[in-house]
Copies of this chain bind each other. A is one copy, B any other.
Amino acid sequence: MYDRLKGFRDFYPGEMSARREVTDAVEEQLRRYGFREVGTPAMERTEMYVDKSGEEIVEELYTFEDKGGRNVALTPELTPTVARMVVAKQQALQKPIKWFSTRPFWRYEQVQQGRFREFYQTNVDIFGVSDPEADAEILAAAADVLTELGLTAEDFEFRVSHRDILGGLLESLDSDVDIADAIRAVDKSQKIDDAEYHELLVEAGLTREEAESFDAVLATDDLDDLVEFAGTDRVASAVENLRAVLDAADDFGADEFCTVSLETARGLDYYTGVVFECFDTAGEVSRSVFGGGRYDDLIEGFGGQPTPAVGVGIGHATLSLLCQRAGVWPEEELTTDYYVLTVGDTRDVAADIARQLRASGNVVESNLTGRGFGDQLGYADGINAETVVVVGEQDLADDAVTLKDMASGDQKQVPLEAFPGEYDRPTYDDY
């Protein structure tokens, strides 16, 4: 007997059916926005991740040398891959480029609630549009995905921030600040206490006084306070951009889900504009459910023409926790329209009935074994068959089949020629 690897999961049919239902709903909503599915490889050259995120990324990658001597890595995220794809066909691709895909990724991380070494994400990106409408469409599409799953503004919120506000505020200080380090401190601020947070800011180059005033101004309700604090064009235009995105999100129907929260920084260095994270309003899913933002420099950094970009990666592990907490996760069970039960030598007639029922789109299992009536009925019950069609030798002698409604247990004989007859989905009640 072999073990599954730690952090990897098997999904048996009941759980998988709920996951499939959710993935289908997510993707259907994205298709309606005109996002187009792309298919991407599970493996890339390791250097792509090192160049983008630094040598330390290797620690959490599944990397190895392949039999051709290439340093390769299992993809830990989608963004570098789609950036590579945009660069490869940048002349041929019409803008905006609107892509999505759902697939697994891999990171060698500590396994915990909602975090696995193999994890599934639906990634959604718009390339080639710098206008605030693109940021707002990402927010609106993500919100529609969640409401389509049955979630409401009671269940989730998008905390929206802007990298250039954070960067601009830090830049405006008198001290020489390591801005990336300081933004990483902000990103951690909600998970640590104030003293520890301020200490990290001091380590990033702020004086203790600056750390306190920076922390205080981030908590403001009035975006004008930020402009005043910094007194720079950079912060003024970042605030203007954030307002424009929120304004477009209002037109696009996503405003009720958006809250400005400048402590939201997103861990990754490559964001350049609006960033946001989805949180469980009940706070039971302790970390961010998912997040995204604008990353205008990545494509150029990958050797392409300057190409603005904005996107979101919806993690299915945390999404399922949110859905479960909110009571909208689908039932994890099988559904079956018909079980065609045989008694005696009736396989040909039973097969014919099964084929007709399948042809009109029904889920139909039929007997594959030599087992008897009771065992077959038990199996039909186990697969949650709605109707059992008994094709017995006695029934056929009467030119009939017996329909059994599994919910009530009621059964009646129906003439063979009337079943399925004119019906696409005949049930006990039709006769």
Contact = CB atoms under 8 A, between A and B. Distances in A.
Q: What's the interface size class on A, roughly?
A: 35 or more
- Majority secondary structure, A binding face: mixed
B5 A45 contact: yes
A39 B19 contact: yes
B1 A32 contact: no
Contacts of A129: 368-369
B118 A361 contact: no
Contacts of A144: 358
Contact of A32 (B253, B302, B347, B362): B362
A31 B363 contact: yes
A149 B129 CA distance: 38
Given A88-B10, A253-B355, A355-B253, A368 B1 contact: no
Contact of A6 (B68, B81, B334, B355): B68
A411 to B, nearest CB: 21
A19, A41, A64, A126: most-surrounded residue (chain B CB, <10 A)? A41
Given A41-B8, A351-B251, A379-B94, A334 B36 contact: yes
Given A10-B41, A20-B37, A133-B369, A32 B363 contact: yes
Contacts of A89: 12
Given A2-B84, A17-B37, A126 B67 contact: no
Interface of A: 1-6, 8-13, 15-17, 19-20, 31-34, 36-45, 47-48, 59, 62, 64-68, 70, 72, 74, 80-81, 84-85, 87-89, 94-96, 98-99, 104, 106, 108, 118, 126, 129, 131, 133-134, 137, 144, 248, 251-253, 302-304, 334, 336, 347-348, 351, 355, 358, 361-365, 367-370, 379, 382-383
Closest 3 CB pairs of A and B: A11-B39, A64-B64, A13-B36
Given A17-B37, A33-B365, 13 more contacts: A2-B47, A8-B41, A10-B39, A10-B40, A10-B81, A11-B38, A32-B364, A34-B365, A42-B106, A43-B106, A131-B370, A133-B367, A251-B348
